[in-house]
Amino acid sequence: MELNEFVAKFAELFEDTDTSNFCGSTDFRANDEWSSLIGLSVIAMVDEEYDVALKGDDVKRAKTIEDLFNTVKNKM
């Protein structure tokens, strides 16, 4: 699992945002499109793609996409 791959899959969850500038250090909550629905989509994507069960608290604790990536990696 690579960070760039994770960032790309994460970015696919945003429909109305130019995600070409997304990177590991992106503060995803600062994005206007971020919502609890996208948070649930992140949890579902991680479960489907990486077979890792994230909890809502895992997403809440993460500030950047890389924080989420590291949480997923640690649970693998």
Query: pLDDT per residue over 44-57, tens digit each?
Result: 999 999 999 999 99
Its pTM stands at 0.94
* Domain definitions of the chain by residue range: 3-75
Query: Which CATH class, in words, describes the domain spanning 3-75?
Result: mainly alpha
pLDDT of residue 32: 95
Query: pLDDT per residue over 17-44, tens digit each?
Result: 999 999 999 999 999 999 999 999 999 9
| Distance separating alpha carbons of residues 14 and 52, to the nearest angstrom | 21
Angle at 71 between CA 67 and CA 72, to 5 degrees: 120
Identity of the amino acid at 15: E
pLDDT of residue 75: 97
